[in-house]
Amino acid sequence: MDKQHGNPNGLKEKLRTGEPSYVFAVRSIRDTGIVNIALAAQYDAVYIDFQHSPIALHEAANVFHAGAHGGLTVLARVPAADVSLVARCIDAGAHGLMLADLRDAEQARRCVEAALLHPIGNRSFGMPVDPRFMGMSGAVLMQAINQATLLVAMIESEQAVDGAEAIAAIDGIDAVQIGTADLSASMGVPGDYGHPRVQSAYRKVALACNAVKKPLIIGGIRNPAYLQPYIALGAVRCYFVGSDTGFLLDAARQAKSRLQSDIPH
């Protein structure tokens, strides 16, 4: 890898070392300016949320490439059932995938095969135009791309919790994330992130991750009171802070509120 471009996937490295990292979702902004915003605010990564936004792949591709040039990890969140989108996102330049709503190990295995190159996967190899890999070719290039690709298995159902040990053990899955909002909703306790059943699920998934030495990421929780017990279980300090849509809405409300408070009635 060309040294001037730094680590080929900074978020993957921070997950490996346990350093704190910060991520937000992209659901509204479709151009490369979001990379500059994320870097200026000192985030480690963003993810394009194909599951919950109308963003098109060709729009996301520009953000993937801008992130590669700027040193920002740009992931794609894709429904795990859509294996064709898994492969196309990596071909388009995504630095990794959040595999949403994985149900079992076999589904996870199919996603790995679609995302990674030989010998771990079987994705058809298209020559990337990516500054992280300039000067590489052949087996060296394929290995570098696999090593730089971050695959996160998202557990968002009780079925997936039951299969967490098998999911985490799959070669090519780098980390496991519990989507706590969807998991709690599927349990009939939406938003109750401290519910005993949610806690039990975290314990089970944490044990599965610890057994294969893969990081567990907390998803959907931003309240420190709920975060701390799961960090104590062994979850890494990788914080999913919100979304561009939420940030804009919050800022718009705050700006209006400040103006209203200063204007005499």
Active site residues: 52
Instruction: Please give the C-alpha separations between residue 188 and each of 105, 163, 241, in angstroms, as whole numbers.
Output: 24, 20, 24
Using alpha carbons, select from 181, 183, 198 the residue that is nearest to residue 243.
181
Question: Tokens representing 128?
Answer: 């990337």
Per DSSP, the residues of 66-131 read HHHHHT-EEEEEEETT-HHHHHHHHHTT-SEEEEEEE-SHHHHHHHHHHHS-TTT----------G
CA 192 from centroid of its chain's CA atoms: 23
Q: What are phi and psi of 165, to 5 degrees?
A: -60, -45
